[in-house]
Amino acid sequence: MSPGKAWGAFSLVYVLAVMAALAALLSLGLPWHVSVACGIMAFAFYGYVVYKRYRVEVVPEGDIMLFDDPDDLRILCEIYGLDARGDGKARRARLVAFSRANSDSAFVWVSPKAVHVLGSALQVGLAEERPPAPVIIPEPEGVHGLVTRMVSDAGRPTAPGTLTSGKARSSSRLSSLKACPVCDSPLRKGAVSCRECGADLEFYAVLMETAIGKRLVSQKAVAERRKLRYPVPQLRDR
């Protein structure tokens, strides 16, 4: 079931639950206008949270190629609800396939597991859905394939020095950074990478200009700060 359909089913259940709660409030003697106000607030809150959190940008294929940290690729896979197992190559291949499949839209719906399970459960007994087309994961291309694609007109070359969204690197962007976007450590003047966590400062600063980038960096930051705060002790034999 597609995330959009899962959300449709989940929203239907939510609407019914709010209606039932309103009926209960009315039967308890709450004035109707207070009940209606509660209902409107419940719907507005639901709509805002779902729209804000579960409708995310599609990272273009060219930008996916710029991520070299396997952990970033894992977080991106998790945000899109893709299988995050395997190494960086496998994750990148899944992300590229996802990006190509959604290349005609700027945003996609993603659904958390609970919503997906509920949506699928509701679908049982309802109209049969056609089985989804098998996802073809492209083979990771070798050096030859990569060079061919980069020189061809159809391919989008990812030139060195290019940041996400096709932005070029610029030293002025770095001078405005006071703290690392990932671990929040204070930065030395002119630093291009963070001394504490090793993050490419400009890359993450530009990434954070998008909603999905903010989400990725905030998830990465949790892991990085935990690592910095609690250095893992070396295991010793007793």
| Residues at the interface with Zn ion (CB under 5 A) | 180, 182-183, 185, 194, 196-197, 199
Helices 70-80 and 88-101, interaxial angle, to 10°? 40
Altogether, the residues listed in the chain come to a count of 238
Contacts of 34 (CB under 8 A, 6+ apart): 25
Q: Three-class SS of residue 17?
A: helix
Residue closer to Zn ion by CB (options 96, 194) is 194
Residue closer to Zn ion by CB (options 91, 220) is 220
Residue closer to Zn ion by CB (options 52, 227) is 227
Alpha-carbon dihedral angle through residues 64, 70, 74, 76, given to the nearest 10 degrees: -20
CB of 158 to Zn ion, least distance (A): 24
Decide if 56 contacts 107 (C-beta within 8 A).
yes
Residue closer to Zn ion by CB (options 67, 109) is 67
CB of 80 to Zn ion, least distance (A): 25
